[in-house]
A and B are shown apart, each in its own frame.
Chain A
Amino acid sequence: MLINARVALSLALVFGAGAVSANEGGSASWEREPENEVSNLPSLQRGARNFMAYCSGCHSLKFERYSRLCEDLKITGEQCDALLVRPGDKRTDYIKSSMPEKDAVEWFGKAPPDLSLAARSRGPKWIFNFLTTFHADPASRQTGVNNLQLPGTAMPHVLASLQGVQSVVWQNVEQKGEDGAVTTAREFKGFEPGVSGSLNAQEYDGFVRDTVNFLDYVGDPTQLERQGIGIWVVLFLLMFTGIAYMLKKEYWKDVR
């Protein structure tokens, strides 16, 4: 027991020390889990509102119709028309962006991507970290900001009025290359609040979580229905297998 305790203690020391040095060594991560739940209807509704207010100016959801969205998110037809459908569009239209593609290429160098399947190609975690790690970067002449998830992104910090503009505290770390030469690289140490926005950090995370949640739904709109049906299918198959097994057993009694 004593030996075990010693082993445990030394392991704890080693790993504890590792954790501390990881922090000091600068590999503190900005990566976080989005912890969104597609079954959370109010969150999806807020996410839809966020998307239409802040994203749809540039990004389309060209495989999703307003009508489908409102039906799935339990938004009434009147609310749908009043709050979500863009003026000039019909409820049965696909959700297009308001920006002509030609202008977009001229302004940003490339057209902002359609986000219908962003949550499936990139994943909710990627989007969450993309939207939370914009930071001031004087080296970026286009937008004045950069991003940790997608360095060099052409997208400006559209949510700056909400989040504010944070800066990154970097620290220099010496790295030994394969040839033994020592080079200095900068590593992320933490964020530093800069210009503040209208939301505090917690509120902003909630805002992004709702938006990511909404995109998760749009990426796979049948997922809740699928899981609901799936439970019954699996239960039926288990019952079927049980009965089939009993029948088989009855017949196989004869085999000696």
Chain B
Amino acid sequence: MSAVIEGKGGFRTWLNKRLPVDQFVEDQLTGYYAPKNFNIWYFFGSLALLMFVLQIVTGIFVTMHFKPGWESAWPSLQVMVREVPYMWLIQGLHVVGASFFFIVVYLHMARAFLYGSYKAPREVLWVIGMLIYLALMAEAFMGYVLPNGNMSFWGAQVIINLFGTIPGIGPDLVEWIRGDYGIGDALLNRFFSLHVVALPLVLLLLIGLHLVALRQVGSNNPDGIEIKEKLGKDGKPLDGIPFHPYYTLKDIVGVGLFLTVFAIVVFFMPTFFGLFQESPNFEPASLVSTPDHIKPVWYFTAYYAILRAIPDQRLGALLMALAVAAFMFMPWLDRGKNKSIRYRGIASKLLLAMFFISFLLLMWLGLQPAEPLYVFMARVCTVTYFAFFILLPFVSKADSNGPVPERVIYHAH
């Protein structure tokens, strides 16, 4: 159905004959039907997109004043935030934004775990999402290394040396990544190039694909019911409402709430108790003085805790990679008939709770010094973390066959 109103002259008709603006708006917004029972968990997709745009826009300005390189990076950052008008704000939004991007993405992923959003027919949507997560981790890591603060530097040492544990090619690979025998201009300049050009383009492409796949299969919902299976006489889903104006307006409320929290952190606690900006990074990289506890930023610490829990570094690095890769297989590991956790048995609920708790505990443990008690706890959590993926096929098959309502549950307000 063409959205162009025939017979109506003027610029709009002229434009639509040449560029399908109205058609696009109808396909993507006014004619795209989403389930009406979205809850608070469904804010985080649009918020992730908002964070991506914010990082690009603030990043453009940071790039104007930043000078990559071993000697120049750290001072250029200090001069930028102190002397260029309002760069303290733009750089603050960028660095705090990185942490909030991950908060939003983790909650977005947790939503998929709760309501089985990765299950058929959304496997490809999920896998693209996981590729976004991987690209985002690379993007964030490089952005973290670029300022060449002391924690940036020592953190980069640890992470890059992990590639050295790959049998055979490891040491050569590390040298190839660094382009030198140590971290220096070569690495910092190529990370700059990747951080500001290559990875944002990759992310843009993947996010586009993620949205195309979403429009193809439609959103899941808290009840895990396919709304396309119950169509009204007009061919529209009975439980669906047009994305615009309903969800555009609802998402704006989400944006307002989110930005309020975000602004409180940016303006009143930009280091967030040393979690979003760590105190050793207020010193330039130094070959002779090591930070007391070398650790990555909070959004990587769950995997870092797994790495440290394993005495053998090579095995630790392998498990760390597996811990991330395991997400990819969720659509096939989960064999439940029902998607949503609402209509699964107690065993499934406990299993998922165990996984969430393991992940959060690992995250916390990765921030702690490697003391015996913490390492022991990290080992326990590593076991429960992987136990989730191993047990899921059996548990999900056995206890998610309860009755599911015909229509989504929605209480009008």
Interface residues of A (CB under 8 A from B): 63-64, 68, 116-117, 120-123, 219, 221-222, 226-227, 229-231, 233-234, 237-238, 240-241, 244-245, 247-249, 251-252, 255-256
Contact = CB atoms under 8 A, between A and B. Distances in A.
B250 interface: yes
Interface in B265-301: 266-268, 270-271, 279-280, 282-283
Given A226-B267, A237-B260, A245 B253 contact: yes
19 contacts: A117-B283, A121-B282, A121-B283, A219-B282, A229-B89, A230-B264, A234-B267, A237-B256, A237-B260, A241-B253, A241-B256, A241-B260, A244-B253, A244-B255, A245-B253, A248-B253, A252-B413, A255-B241, A256-B412
Contacts of B259: 237
A85 to B, nearest CB: 18
Nearest to A239: B256
Contact of A234 (B36, B252, B264): B264
B211 interface: no
B158 interface: no
Interface in B212-255: 241, 245-246, 249-250, 252-253, 255
B358 to A, nearest CB: 30
B79 interface: yes
Given A63-B79, A121-B283, A241-B257, A252 B88 contact: no
A63 B253 contact: no
B249 A230 contact: no
Contact of A230 (B82, B250, B263): B263
B16 interface: no
Given A244-B249, A247-B249, A252-B246, 19 more contacts: A63-B75, A64-B82, A121-B280, A123-B279, A221-B82, A230-B268, A233-B267, A234-B263, A234-B264, A237-B259, A237-B260, A241-B253, A241-B257, A244-B253, A245-B256, A247-B252, A248-B250, A248-B252, A255-B246
A238 B282 contact: no
B78 interface: yes
The 7 closest A-B pairs by CB, nearest first: A230-B267, A241-B256, A120-B282, A121-B282, A237-B260, A117-B282, A248-B249
Contacts, number: 84
A205 to B, nearest CB: 24
Interface of B: 36, 75, 78-79, 81-83, 88-89, 92, 241, 245-246, 249-250, 252-253, 255-257, 259-260, 263-264, 266-268, 270-271, 279-280, 282-283, 410, 412-413
Contact of B263 (A64, A221, A233, A247): A233
A238 B256 CA distance: 7
| Residue with the highest number of chain A CB atoms closer than 10 Å, among B252, B257, B271, B282 | B282
Contacts of A247: 249, 252
Nearest to B241: A255
Best-surrounded residue of B78, B249, B412 (most CB of chain A within 10 A):
B249
A219 B270 CA distance: 13
Contacts of A234: 260, 263-264, 267
Nearest to B37: A255
Contacts of A249: 413
A237 B267 contact: no
Contacts of B82: 63-64, 68, 221-222
Nearest to A64: B82
B267 A227 contact: yes
Nearest to A221: B82
A247 B256 CA distance: 13
A248 B282 CA distance: 44
Contact of A226 (B89, B260, B282): B89
A240 B89 CA distance: 20
Contacts of B282: 117, 120-121, 219
A122 B253 CA distance: 40
Given A117-B282, A248-B250, A255-B246, A240 B256 contact: yes
Name the residue among B83, B256, B259, B280 with the largest chain A CB count within 10 angstroms: B256
Contact of A117 (B78, B89, B266): B78
Nearest to B281: A121
A255 B413 CA distance: 8
B412 A237 contact: no
Contacts of A226: 88-89, 92, 267-268, 270
A120 B75 CA distance: 15
A28 B373 CA distance: 26
A238 B260 contact: yes
A63 B82 CA distance: 8
B267 A63 contact: no
A170 B74 CA distance: 42
A251 B246 contact: yes
Nearest to B81: A222
Q: Which of A64, A229, A252 has the most CB of B within 10 A?
A: A252
Contacts of A245: 253, 256
Q: Which of B257, B267, B410 has the most CB of A within 10 A?
A: B267
A63 B412 CA distance: 58
Nearest to A250: B249
Nearest to B288: A110
Contacts of B88: 222, 226
A221 B83 CA distance: 10
A231 B263 CA distance: 9
Contacts of A251: 245-246, 249
Contacts of A221: 82
A256 B89 CA distance: 43
Contacts of A120: 271, 279, 282
Contacts of B257: 241
